[in-house]
Amino acid sequence: MAGLTKDTPYPAEIKLHQKSRVLDITFSDGKTFQFPCEFLRVYSPSAEVRGHGPGQEILQTGKKTVNISKIEPVGHYAIQLNFTDGHNTGIYSWDLLYDYGLNQDKMWQRYLQRMEEAGASREQATASEVTHSCK
């Protein structure tokens, strides 16, 4: 099972900074990663975001101001994050979070590139913009 091998670092400390919308995780090997809530939301390991296979990923837009409202432990190997936009599926295992930490810069650049290619925005659409686009 993910995150349960003896070689996988595990979180020694998990700290949510709601004002700055950042989740700090310090792992047992001393590495510390700072994850913006937006990053964790757009890279949710849920089927809703990843799809059910390669090439089925769904680009997440309008998540710039999303925050984490609740963190729930899942056994001894993961956490489940509840986001302020209502998303709460996806299990963030220790090995997944560690991998995200090591590759965060590349992943973020890939996300920004996909957003640009799609002509999408990180900003949440206002009610008037949604109404306008439906006319």
Options 3.40.50.970, 3.40.50.300, 3.40.50.2300, 3.30.2020.30; CATH of 11-134: 3.30.2020.30
Eight-class DSSP state of 8 = S
What are phi and psi for residue 119, nearest 5 degrees? 65, 30
Locate 41 and state its tokens.
């939301």
Cα–Cα distance, 124 to 61 (Å, whole number): 7
pTM comes to 0.88
100-126 per-position pLDDT tens digit: 999 999 999 999 999 999 999 999 865
Cα–Cα distance, 32 to 101 (Å, whole number): 8
6-47 per-position pLDDT tens digit: 788 999 999 999 999 999 999 999 999 999 999 999 999 999
Instruction: Please report, for the chain, the start and end positions of each structural domain, with discontinuous segments joined by +.
Output: 11-134
